[in-house]
Amino acid sequence: MPMTRTRFWLSVVFLLIAGLSATAQFSGSLPFGKNKVQYQRFNWKYIQSENFDVYYHQGGEYAAKFTAMKAEEALKAIEGTLSFRITKRIVFIVYGSHNQFQQTNVIDEFMSEGIGGVTELFKNRIVVPYEGDYAKFAHVIHHELVHAVINDMFYGGSIQALMSNSVKAMLPLWMNEGFAEYSSVGGLDVKTDQFMRDVAVSEYLKGLNQLSGYFAYRGGQAFWTYIAEKYGKGKVGELLNRFRAIGDINQTFRAAFGLTYEEMSEQWAKDTKKFYFPDVDRYEYVEDWATRLTNHQKEENFYNTSPTISPDGERVAFISDRGDGLFGLYVMDLGTKDVTKLVGSARSTDFEELNFLTPGISWNHDGTRLAVGAKAGGEDAVYLVNVDNGDYEVLRFNMQTIGGVHWSPDGSKIAFDAAPGGIQSDIFVYDLASKDLTQITNDIFTDAEPTWGPDNTTLYFISDRGRYTSGRETSENFFMWDHDVDQQDLYRVSIDDRNIDRLTNDPSVGKYSIAVAPDHKSILFTADYNGISNLWELDLATKSLQARSNSLQEVSQLSLSRDGTKLVFASQNRVGYDLFMLKYPFDLKVRDTLPPTRFRQREMDERNSLAAIMDDAARKDDSVSLSYGVFDVDLTDGAMVPPNEDASDRGEPTAKAGEPQVDFTPKDYRVAFSPDVITGNAGYSNWYGAQGTMQMLFTDMMGDHEIYFMANLFLDLANSNFFLQYTYKPEVIDLSVAGFHNAGFTFIQEGIYQYTYRMRTYGVATWATLPFSRYSRIDVGLQAQAMAKENIDVPTMPSTEKFVAVPTVSYVMDDAIWGFWAPVKGTRMNLTLEASPPIGANGLSFVTMRGDIREYLHLGGMYCVALRGSGGISAGGDPQKFFIGGVDNWFNRFFSNAGWPFVEPEDFAFTRPGWPLRGYALNERNGSRYFVANAEFRFPLLVAFQAGPIPALFQGLQGQVFFDIGGAFDQDGNSWTALPNGFPIRAQEAVIYSVGLGVRSLALGLPIRFDVAWRREPATGLSAPIYLFSLGGDF
């Protein structure tokens, strides 16, 4: 995942507000946000290859070597395509699991389950996790390396270079992600071929403008393959280089193809449909031979996956993102089609994330509980969920990665694949009675999808091990970077003697899921022999294969009822994933062959060509036997027959064949700061002196140490603002220390004169954050601060000086789920207590409590109701002030008759706003206690997605209807307002409120808020409309 245009500008905005947000707990706003929890301390080392520095933590040296070898191999291909050589070394940071990857400080964003790697643009670092699958790991390494090379080629390899150089345009997402996928697999692959077939025959494909989100990856890859096949592979690099030079996508397409962007888009869509439409006659729509159980189009979701049918065949459990877009565990009654949600994810410490990318759900023998793998507190765990009430038991095994989970037919054991040490994925069995965990396989290979046979002692699984079944190959004697990690075959192992038996011998064919027949004579599995993942049956005695489906759409994730009469599976159908059921699957028509797809046929032609054989032989050393016979192709009828086992897989590289030729001596990591961003402008005026702004951000390679400096110069140092902060983040508790100086001006009426005063605050602050989970934490801080009030008009007037030492403690809870503009579901809460003991003659004494609670009720889609209640109370010898009225960042602001809320220096430091209260002036009311409540109905007006390099004028329009109410009071409970001359009088109405309408837009790339409010007038009811223009997001 690269630094996209949106992510880049969000990073710049972050720098602009960092000085304010860093001291949020000492300012007017109460901070929220989920936590990035450090569950462990990482001890970093690194190795170096010709072009890369690869950093790894304890236990990750083998994965680091794999990364270096695969990266060097990938770099040659990428540079060859682009005709570009990188200008500097590239850094990889490798984590041993996705759970550890989520703890990275290199990227501020939380790395959710769907993010397999990321390339950031501050230092052009690539951050990847090993997740127990070397094929996936190699793919991610290549994919992310493409982004790093693109960053170097287009943007100079850093945000600093991007901001300093005259970069003409940023590469559109679909071009960037699509090229990364294209380069990673050398063109098209089965998964993208299947995806594009479904998109084309579903009449969903319109053109390049719709390539956003997941479609940007698959559709972009298909487009680059189309270009390579129609114009030659050299055209791919040429197009990217032309865009780099021209910076306009329409002119680029004209120069490269003689067509405009729109014309090429239309031509690609037409040719893609022509390519896939003939398949409608050769294969069967999945809904024509199986019964649909879910409908993602009607439910307006994307995923319905990981089905598991109950032993009695009456219910099916599955994972879905229906409703609120979050993954949850659901159960469907197959008779009534009623669906019940058991548990959700992403809103509690348990079930932080369901492992939907490596799904594995299984029923126990009597259909009362489900076993499911999910993330929990820095590791993966197996949850045993009661299907009647949703209660669950957590089984923790100290495993970083847990994949497929399968309950034995007798209910006594649970099998799962796991990668506990960041080196290999093996199969484990847990005995529920004895509580014993047994490792069944233990070698360097990737073993996945364990499935029980009906005898409760045999496990079937998928592996990349090829002919290596002895279990003697380990990280000490075998190099996976020299092994074909893309191969897949079926195996079985007895949990008694642990002997491994290879069942299939066609390693280049993808195999994805297994179900065992009740009589234990055969197994059903899904495989892409003909280029589409279909249902196949393997006779365990004869090892013969028969196709049981000829589907137009993929068949995946099988689950068979105990009696074998019902089979449920998942399939991508009409650009989304749905569940289907098949009755009596063993009675389906038997097919010895299936017609290959055009993509598979082309693969077979290339594999069987003499040129391909000679080229393959030239790339192998003498110790490697060649494998020519993965497929036997009968070209007379265009059909595929089962592979010739004697011809296929005659040999594989030995461990020594790929021994590294570079020095992989580990080196200790040392903290060294380097700049991420330095930006600013400066000037000098004869009248006002030095002026300017500056921001600097320095971090170490791991992002564990951060130094931020901000300066806003005006006239001289006394009138300028400075902020310097150091943050320490590698431990469970994040620590920060900062020094600051803030200056501002206010006007104060004293008798018949109005004077200009300068308010200054300066001091030091330190704070610590202790997270309990991703969703809750305690913030503790201490601030020592001096304050001054100085008369600018009469400099001889003595200044007023105050001093405080303020300890602060906050409890923060945030499980909100964000939409485009603001959260759409969940709760946010901050309760803060701060106090100042009197210190010296100028000390202040107060105790202040503040609270802010927000609730978001999701109504589906982008509709929600947002509720908020906030308030505060301050007591003591010098109670602090709150003011209400208006909104933050208000362009056309106006003040009440009470004027500015700053009179004393402590007001400048500690006066807290209560907003939004639209329709009212700033400082409409103030006092030592306040409350504000808000209710909003939010709904979409228009969602416009950016297409190509030209930004849309308006994006993501949102409308809302709101109601605001609030009040501010003194210690006696009185509410005050002011006459036009500023003289305070008691307010007629202690509580004020308003109603209105609002629109939110990203016009010109800025978050613009436009509101129309009607305030309550004591005499006349609602006022005339009051218009507010402001900048920022919603609460």
From residue 10, give the alpha-carbon distance in Å to each of 4, 861, 1005, 1029.
Answer: 10, 24, 10, 21
Is residue 159 helix, strand or coil? helix
Q: How many C-beta atoms lie closer than 10 Å to residue 262's C-beta?
A: 14
Whole-angstrom distance, CA of residue 901 vs CA of residue 17: 23
Whole-angstrom distance, CA of residue 281 vs CA of residue 551: 11
Do 56 and 91 meet the contact criterion of CB atoms below 8 Å apart?
no
What tokens appear for 525 in the block? 């599995």
| pLDDT exceeds cutoff 90 at 64 | yes
| pLDDT exceeds cutoff 80 at 347 | no
Query: 868-918, pLDDT tens digit by residue?
Result: 999 999 999 999 999 999 999 999 999 998 887 888 888 888 889 999 999
Q: For the chain, which residues make up each domain, given as ranges?
A: 1-6+43-167, 173-282, 286-656, 731-1031
From residue 722, give the alpha-carbon distance in Å to each of 21, 682, 754.
Answer: 14, 15, 28
| More confident site: 422 or 462 | 462
Whole-angstrom distance, CA of residue 573 vs CA of residue 297: 10
Mean pLDDT of 628-651: 34
| More confident site: 684 or 213 | 213
Question: Which of 375-384, 721-730, 987-996 shows the lowest per-residue confidence on average (mean pLDDT)?
Answer: 375-384
- What pLDDT score was predicted for residue 653? 37
CA 443 to chain centroid, in Å, comes to 32
The residue type found at 945 is F
CA 420 to chain centroid, in Å, comes to 23
Phi/psi for 520 (5° steps) reads: 60, 30
| Partners of 437 in the β-ladder | 430
Question: Which of 144-153, 370-379, 612-621, 1017-1026 shows the lowest per-residue confidence on average (mean pLDDT)?
Answer: 612-621
Whole-angstrom distance, CA of residue 472 vs CA of residue 467: 12
Helix, strand, coil share (%) of the chain residues, nearest 5: 20, 40, 40
Query: 747-762, pLDDT tens digit by residue?
Result: 887 878 888 889 899 9
DSSP string, 732-776: SSEEEEEEEEEEEEEEEEETTEEEEEEEEEEEEEEEEEEESSSSE
With cut-offs at 50, 70 and 90, classify the pLDDT of residue 982.
Answer: confident
Is residue 107 helix, strand or coil? coil
Mean pLDDT of 580-584: 97
Whole-angstrom distance, CA of residue 580 vs CA of residue 331: 14
Strand locations in 235-301 (E): 291-292
DSSP run (H or E) holding 333: strand 328-333
Whole-angstrom distance, CA of residue 294 vs CA of residue 363: 20
Do 316 and 579 meet the contact criterion of CB atoms below 8 Å apart?
yes
Report the relative pairing of strands 52-56 and 90-95 from DSSP bridges. Answer: parallel
> Which of 389-393, 524-528, 860-864 has the largest mean confidence?
524-528
CA 544 to chain centroid, in Å, comes to 43
With cut-offs at 50, 70 and 90, classify the pLDDT of residue 615.
Answer: low
What tokens appear for 14 in the block? 């972050």
DSSP string, 653-676: --GGGG--SS----EE-----EEE
Phi/psi for 966 (5° steps) reads: -170, 175
| pLDDT exceeds cutoff 60 at 719 | yes
- Classify residue 384 by its DSSP letter: E
Which residue is it, tokens 């500023």?
982
Half-sphere exposure of 496 (CA within 13 A, CB side): 4
Query: 108-135, pLDDT tens digit by residue?
Result: 888 888 889 999 989 999 999 999 999 9
Do 784 and 26 meet the contact criterion of CB atoms below 8 Å apart?
no
Question: Which of 195-209, 255-269, 373-387 shows the lowest per-residue confidence on average (mean pLDDT)?
Answer: 373-387
Query: 946-978, pLDDT tens digit by residue?
Result: 333 334 444 568 999 999 999 999 998 999 888
- What pLDDT score was predicted for residue 559? 96
Whole-angstrom distance, CA of residue 267 vs CA of residue 139: 30
Half-sphere exposure of 367 (CA within 13 A, CB side): 15
Half-sphere exposure of 808 (CA within 13 A, CB side): 30
Strand order in the sheet with 500-502: 447-452, 458-463, 489-494, 500-502
| More confident site: 465 or 159 | 465
Mean pLDDT of 155-169: 77
Whole-angstrom distance, CA of residue 666 vs CA of residue 45: 6
CA 102 to chain centroid, in Å, comes to 10
Query: 487-508, pLDDT tens digit by residue?
Result: 999 999 999 999 999 999 999 9
pTM, two decimal places: 0.89
What tokens appear for 24 in the block? 């949020």
- What pLDDT score was predicted for residue 354? 61
Written out in words, the top-level CATH class of the domain with range 286-656 is mainly beta
- Domain 731-1031 bears CATH identifier 2.40.160.50: yes
Mean pLDDT of 430-448: 97
What angle, rounded to 10 degrees, do the helices at 234-246 and 134-155 form?
40
The residue type found at 203 is E
Whole-angstrom distance, CA of residue 97 vs CA of residue 105: 15
What angle, rounded to 10 degrees, do the helices at 214-231 and 190-201 form?
100
Triad 433, 372, 490: Cα angle to 5°: 90
pLDDT, the chain, mean: 88
377: buried, middle or exposed (CB in 10 Å: 19+, 13-18, 0-12)?
A: middle
Do 905 and 802 meet the contact criterion of CB atoms below 8 Å apart?
yes
- Classify residue 31 by its DSSP letter: P
- What pLDDT score was predicted for residue 641? 35
Do 963 and 995 meet the contact criterion of CB atoms below 8 Å apart?
yes
Phi/psi for 46 (5° steps) reads: -150, 155
- What pLDDT score was predicted for residue 609? 73
Do 926 and 897 meet the contact criterion of CB atoms below 8 Å apart?
no
What angle, rounded to 10 degrees, do the helices at 234-246 and 61-82 form?
80
Query: 288-333, pLDDT tens digit by residue?
Result: 999 999 999 998 899 999 999 999 999 999 999 887 778 889 999 9
Do 936 and 821 meet the contact criterion of CB atoms below 8 Å apart?
no
- What pLDDT score was predicted for residue 353? 60
- CATH T-level assignment (fold) for domain 1-6+43-167: Zincin-like (3.30.2010)
Residue 596: cis peptide before it, omega within 30 degrees of 0: no
Q: Hey, what's the torsion of the CAs at 516, 517, 518, 521, to 10 degrees?
A: -110
CA 893 to chain centroid, in Å, comes to 37
CA 455 to chain centroid, in Å, comes to 41
- What pLDDT score was predicted for residue 169? 77
Q: Which positions ≥6 away from 501 have C-beta within 8 Å?
A: 469, 491, 492, 493
Whole-angstrom distance, CA of residue 847 vs CA of residue 836: 7
Whole-angstrom distance, CA of residue 287 vs CA of residue 285: 5
